[in-house]
Amino acid sequence: LHRQNGEHFAFVAHELRNPLMSAQLALGSLASQSLLPAVRSTEVLKRSMTRIQDLVERSLNMALLGSQKELNRHGTDLRALIDETVLEASPAAEEKNVRVQVEVSMMGEIELDPRLVSSALANLVRNAIKFTHPEGHVHIRASQTLAAVHVEVSDACGGLPPGKIDQLFTPFVQAGSDRTGFGLGLAIARKAIENHGGSISVKDRPGEGCTFTIHLPVRSYVETQS
């Protein structure tokens, strides 16, 4: 029964994507033809549709994480996933004049589920940009050892509120003053990484920001083929 409920939930979220995509394309077409008035209602419409899209995508990820028993692992270039994540988040960063810096040590293909790891990365990077003060910096650092990959996402949010660090990964809990999201991003990111046998830790840097670190045990793709 739990599995059927999860599948129904995923089906509804998935079916919402098509009309939402059509509405976004129509809105983009109107904007490109300068047919949208430059009024507050237009901005509210754009933001609302972005929030709906975000909720639908996160709902799909939650349904996937709740029902998936086996990961769809294959050889993946983690650096490419990070670069794609930064590219997708660039409009939000540019809007706040936040600079995103990436430092990735040389690494070959690793065996992971790219959809889930990409989801985890996207949630951490979006959160970092969201809570970083305007004109601040977000740093992404990735390195690999023989046993694991470590990805750090550091923001410039000014530090976490007292007593909030233990609640960060609880669904629907939001630690910052910005309430434009749903409080699901970190919970989704943690489940995605835990499904790989890994973990996510957070370090508060009072007065500066905080650093989230993905610890992802992996085997090289070459090793799995031998």
The 3-state secondary structure of 183-207 reads CCHHHHHHHHHHCCCCEEEEEEECC
Kindly report, residue by residue over 106-116, the tens digit of the pLDDT: 667 888 988 88
Q: Are 142 and 85 in contact (CB under 8 A)?
A: no
User: Contact at 8 Å (CB) between 215 and 150?
Assistant: yes
Average pLDDT, the chain: 80
2-21 pLDDT, tens digit each:
666 665 666 677 667 667 87
Instruction: Specify the higher pLDDT residue, 154 or 93.
Output: 154
Question: How many residues in total does the chain contain?
Answer: 226
Residue 117 token pair: 């790891």
Contact 142, 105 (CB under 8 A): yes
Residue 182: is its pLDDT beyond 60?
Answer: no
| CB-based contacts of 40, cutoff 8 Å, min separation 6 | none
CB 17 within 8 A of CB 56: yes
CA distance 129 to 222: 35
Q: What is the pTM of this model?
A: 0.70
Q: pLDDT tens-digit profile of 104-146?
A: 986 678 889 888 898 899 889 988 999 999 999 999 999 988 8
Q: Residue 22: is it exposed, middle or buried by C-beta count within 10 angstroms (0-12/13-18/19+)?
A: exposed
**Positive or negative torsion for Cα 28, 50, 14, 20:** negative
Using CA atoms, how far apart are residues 93 and 140, in angstroms rounded to an integer? 14
Full DSSP string of 6-66: HHHHHHHHHHHHHHHHHHHHHHHHHHHTT-S-SSHHHHHHHHHHHHHHHHHHHHHHHHHHH
149 and 162 Cβ atoms separated by less than 8 Å = no
Question: Which residue type is seen at 17?
Answer: R
